[in-house]
Amino acid sequence: MRRKNFLLLLTLIFGLNIVNAQSDYEAGGEFSAGLRVGGESGVSVKWHFENNKTALELLATSNFFNQENNGFTTNFLIEKLAALSSNHKLSAIIGAGFGARWDKSQYGPAGIIGFDWRMFRKLNFQVDWQPTWYLFGKGGWSNANAAFTMRYNIFN
C-alpha cells in the first residue's frame, strides 16, 4: 500500500512539473489556502501581493499531539519576501503580526521566518518557524511552532 501511495505521489509530482514547464508564469498575486503540519497543525490562507515582496497570511492551528497544550490558536502575519530566484518563485520570508491562543486567553506579537516556494502554478510550499510571545492574558512564550505548509493557489 505504501509503495502504491509513493508511486502515485511521484507520478503527481512529475505530472505537475510537466504542466509547470509548459505554463511559465510570473509569480505574484496568488491567493492560496491549504494545510499546515508540524508543531501546530491546521489551515493556512495566504495572499501574495502583485509586487512579489509582501504577503498576508492567516493561520488557524492547534497542537493535536500534545493533550496538555492543544488549544486553538490564530496568527495574522504580514510577511516580507526576499527573492532567492530570478522569477520570484523561491523566497525567504520574515514577518510579524498578531497571535492569539483562545483556550487560555493569551494574546501577543507573533513572528515568522522561513522559505516560501511557489513551485507550480497551482501549488505553494512553505517551511517556517513562528514564535509567539503572549504578552496579554495568562502570558507565555510559544517557540515550538515550526511546520511545513502546502497550499493550493485559488486565484493566480
pLDDT tens digits for range 81-137 = 999 988 888 999 999 999 998 888 899 999 999 999 988 888 999 999 999 999 998
CA distance 3 to 140: 44
For the chain, the structural domain boundaries read 2-155
pLDDT at residue 144 above 70? Answer: yes
DSSP assignment of 98-127 = EEEETTTTEEEEEEEEEEEE--SSSEEEEE
**How confident is the model at residue 18, as a pLDDT?**
47
CB 127 within 8 A of CB 139: no
Please tell me the CATH code under which domain 2-155 is placed. 2.40.160.20
pLDDT tens digits for range 16-72 = 554 444 456 666 788 999 999 988 888 999 998 887 788 999 988 887 666 566 678
DSSP assignment of the chain = -HHHHHHHHHHHHHHHHHHHHHS-------EEEEEEEESSEEEEEEEE-TTSSEEEEEEEEE-TT-GGG--EEEEEEEEEEEESSTTS-EEEEEEEEEEEETTTTEEEEEEEEEEEE--SSSEEEEEEE--EEE-BTT-EEE---EEEEEEEEEE-
CB 151 within 8 A of CB 44: yes
